[in-house]
Amino acid sequence: LSELKIEERTSSSSQESSKEGEEKQEEDGEEEVECPICMDDYKRKDMIHSPHCSRSHIVCQNCWKRHVETEIKDKGKCVVTCPAAKCREPIPEKMIRDLASPEVFNTYISTTKTSYVNRNENVIWCPNPKGCGRAVVYREGVSCDIRCNCGYEFCFKCRAAPHGTATCTHAKKWR
């Protein structure tokens, strides 16, 4: 009987030590988890999740990078979402900057700016023939004559030379 108690103690203490080891492993991020995209196993600490994903999907770094680069470079997207299946949570720009190559991140910035200008009727690209590349915002209720930061002046409505209080139609007739 005393031998059995010793064995039980040894057995239960090894189970306790095993549980403690698992808990410590989880705390250290050493626990292995499977990436839902590539199905490879990684240590939890090496997995990435978007802080904006309400479902807390975690994906390996390689799959995140491939996803971000594909969405921007191949698909031309300016809103990149979590790569988990059926998840449409957008990821923040900082995460895109951290995961994408500098070339792809510059493409993302350019695509985002173009999308913003194209979707806002009060924002246009400066029509400077030299191509300054700046976007110009028109404020309702102010003169349509605009001066871009590059120094180029034009009418926001007709994109021609500024014409003060004359309508665009009258100004066109004068030219």
Distance CA 74, CA 21 (A): 45
Locus of tokens 């031998």: 3
Q: What is the pLDDT along the chain (175 residues), one digit of tens a residue?
A: 333 333 333 444 444 444 454 444 445 558 899 999 999 999 988 898 877 777 788 899 999 999 999 999 999 999 999 998 888 899 999 999 999 999 999 999 999 999 999 999 999 999 999 989 899 999 887 788 999 999 999 999 999 999 888 888 888 887 7
Q: Please name which of 64, 68, 66, 63 lies closest in space to residue 79, comparing C-alpha atoms.
A: 68
Helix (H) or strand (E) holding 42: strand 41-43
Distance CA 115, CA 97 (A): 18
3-state class (DSSP) for residue 124: strand
Are the beta carbons of 11 and 17 closer than 8 angstroms?
Answer: no
pTM, two decimal places: 0.67
Q: Please name which of 149, 147, 142 lies closest in space to residue 165, comparing C-alpha atoms.
A: 142
Q: Please name which of 53, 48, 45, 22 lies closest in space to residue 36, comparing C-alpha atoms.
A: 48
Are the beta carbons of 57 and 50 closer than 8 angstroms?
Answer: yes
Q: Please name which of 120, 51, 57, 58 lies closest in space to residue 92, comparing C-alpha atoms.
A: 51
